[in-house]
Amino acid sequence: MKQLYLTLEDKEKELREFIRNYGQSRDNESSLQQLCTEREERERERWSLLRHARDEAERSLSLAAQLNAKELQLQQAHEQLQEARRQMQAAGIGCCLSDQESLASLPRHSINGTIPTCGAGVVTAGGLTPGSIPHHPPGGGGDRGSCSADSGVRVSSDRESGATSVAGNLSDSTDGAPTIAIGDCKDIDSVSLASTVPPPPPPHMYQSSLKDCSPTLSPLNANNFSRSIDPVSLSRSVEQLSSPLETEPIAVGRRSKQSSRPSSGRGGTWGSISRVFARSRHRNKTSSLQETSEHSYEPYRSWSPLTEEGYAEKLRLLREASSIPMERWRAPTVLAWLEVALGMPQYGSKCAENIKSGKVLLELSDLELECGLGIQHPMHRKKLRLAIEEHRNPQLVRYPCIAQLGHTWVSSEWLPDLGLAQYSDSFAQNMVDARMLEHLSKKELEKYLGVTRKFHQASIVHGIHLLRIMKYDRQALAVRRHQCENMDADPLVWTNQRFIRWARSIDLGEYADNLKDSGVHGGLVVLEPSFNGDTMATALGIPASKSIIRRHLTAELDALVLPARYVVFCQMEELQAEAARVISKHNR
């Protein structure tokens, strides 16, 4: 019995020890969980501060660009004043006015460098009188504007395109989705007034009129696109990017001067600095790399883009590189461009080791990009290839603002505006930026981005079409959306959220939330001819038995969409007429 009692006491001691250890482990787990929560909160605060710093940096850069534009305009006005004084002195007329009096006596348009025309655009001709500008009929070249301060007017080519819808079904017949028509189009050079001064239009000057159409209504019909119809097409696939262009665009006027424009005409290679912040998914990988390299020096880790000093240094390098051809870039500039401008810091180490100049980068093939930089992902290679080709031929860039729209903007802003936020992760992982949207194919949508539904594909197609109409200027797009925020007008630029509010405003609140993640947005509703009341009713989830509600929806939708479609139709007719005039003039 004594032995049993002793054994029982030992077991009780072991049990008490186990209970004590278990309680300590529970306390440790709770404290560890609390520490993890605090760490996540600090991480969120850190990235919030970084986003705020990014926004402030973008704002400061925009203000600096505006200041430079104003200084250029003032300098040109002063040069015009001096020239006028010299002419007056040469003619024997006394010059008794001071600089301030002379500037005050000049017309306002000669100081600002802009002369309004009868069209929707604004043509700049600093110091020129309206009578010195040739007349253009409505819808012609003079109807569009070129925003740069200048003392002369020249003719340049500003590629426009018209799109006509032909039969092409993008919907499955069994899923009840609407029939989507995809159209072919022609890319024709048109005549516009532009300045002889190389600098491009400042980023704060918009053209809010819908004067541009997509060269191809859809990137999904790339297989059916005929280059024989489109002799001046500048849109190339990623396979064609490594080879020279097969055809040259039609030269209109003095085309040779376009090749002298500096690379800053594309709004700067570093564009939107928000690309550097799209690295949250690589955070663990980056931290592990830093831990393993604490005792070893690596060139590309000497200053990180997330540190204040390194980030400022890279921005300085990118500002300097914006006016220098890529073949003259040095290794630090190439690294800064890859990490900050393109938002691809995970390839920085290989770039620092193998790419010593911009000339070397320009000469790399796709296989060398994969081996030298370790870019295994085909979409990442395509992104880098498109950016390199843009620097190889800067005069062929059709949309100066396209470089400012990085993959962070596409995944976090553009897709939710389309009502396709469910694809944000796949677009972010594939680093799809605006350049890639311009060259996106149906195969890439399905294979890499996971967009298999035809209706969602059509939504993305028309979203890209809208970006082309707006010349990839997100600020101009934001201005137009703000103008129709509280009124039922201009549905072309409406977001998915705006259509949900519109559905509630027409007494369909019980169905409005069904539009979330549906892909319904203004570009699809207006630019797709087959989109009608039944299509919207299907997206809203209104049963076919409720015919009264469906008729009410059809009436409201027609009242909203038909005027916008008529405007787009008239603009396409103007573009086609202008294209026909340019072709006939070129043939003569």
Least confident of 18-27, 62-71, 207-216, 506-515: 207-216
Mean pLDDT calculated for residue range 292-308: 43
Residues 6+ apart with CB under 8 A from 434: 402, 403, 404, 405, 406, 409, 410, 467, 472
* pLDDT tens digits along 533-552: 999 999 999 999 999 999 99
List the structure tokens of 276.
């550097």
Strongest mean pLDDT among 23-32, 206-215, 476-485: 476-485
- The count of C-alpha atoms lying within 13 angstroms of the C-alpha of 484, restricted to the half-sphere facing its C-beta, is 22
Q: How many CB atoms lie within 10 A of CB 547?
A: 11
Q: Quote the percentage of the chain above a pLDDT of 90.
A: 39
Residue (of 87, 80, 134, 85) closest to 107 by Cα position = 80
Residue 296 phi, psi (nearest 5)? -125, 140
Question: Which of 63-67, 181-185, 417-421, 566-570 bottoms out in mean pLDDT, i.e. has the lowest?
Answer: 181-185
Instruction: Please write the tens of the pLDDT for every residue from 560-581.
Output: 999 999 999 888 888 888 888 8
* pLDDT value of residue 436: 95
Q: Where do the structural domains in the chain lie, given as residue ranges?
A: 112-263+452-587
Q: How far apart are CA 129 and CA 106, in angstroms?
A: 11
Note the pLDDT tens digit of each residue in 24-37: 988 898 889 889 98
- Which helix or strand (DSSP H or E) is residue 187 part of? strand 185-194
Q: What is the mean pLDDT of residues 332-355?
A: 91
- Tracing tokens 């925003």 back to the chain, one arrives at 147
Cβ(444)–Cβ(464) below 8 Å: no
Indicate whether 405 pLDDT > 90.
yes
Radius of gyration of the chain (CA): 29
The predicted model gives 516-533 an average pLDDT of 95
Judge contact between 318 and 335, C-beta under 8 A: no
Give residue 413's pLDDT: 95
Average pLDDT over residues 10-35: 91
Would you call 198 exposed, middle or buried from its count of C-beta atoms within 10 A (0-12, 13-18, 19+)? middle
Indicate if the pLDDT at residue 290 is higher than 60. Answer: no
- Give the pLDDT of residue 52: 82
Per-residue pLDDT reduced to its tens digit, 417-460 = 999 999 999 999 999 999 999 999 999 999 999 999 999 999 99
User: Lowest mean pLDDT: which of 55-64, 490-499, 502-511?
Assistant: 55-64
The predicted pLDDT at position 216 comes to 35
Give the phi and the psi of residue 160 in degrees, each rounded to 5.
Answer: -120, 170
Contact in structure between 175 and 224 (CB atoms under 8 Å): no
Calpha distance 397→332 (Å, rounded): 25
Distance CA(360)–CA(375), nearest Å, equals 16
Q: pLDDT (tens digit, 9 = 90+) per residue, 143-156?
A: 333 333 333 333 33
Q: What does the alpha-carbon distance between residue 355 and residue 343 come to, in Å, rounded to a whole number?
A: 17
pLDDT at residue 414 in the model: 97
Token pair of 572 as six digits: 């396409």
Q: What integer pLDDT is reported at residue 372 of this predicted model?
A: 87
Contact at 8 Å (CB) between 191 and 155?
yes
Torsion angle of C-alpha atoms 540, 545, 547, 550, degrees rounded to 10? 10
Residues comprising the chain, all counted? 588
- Four-CA torsion 292, 297, 301, 302, nearest 10 degrees: 150
Cα 48 to Cα 43: distance, rounded to the nearest angstrom: 9
As beta bridge partners, residue 126 has: none
Mean pLDDT (the chain) is: 71
> Residue 267 above 70 pLDDT?
no
Give pLDDT, residue 113. 39
Looking at per-residue confidence, does 69 or 157 come out higher?
A: 69
Burial class, 14, CB count within 10 angstroms (exposed 0-12 / middle 13-18 / buried 19+): exposed
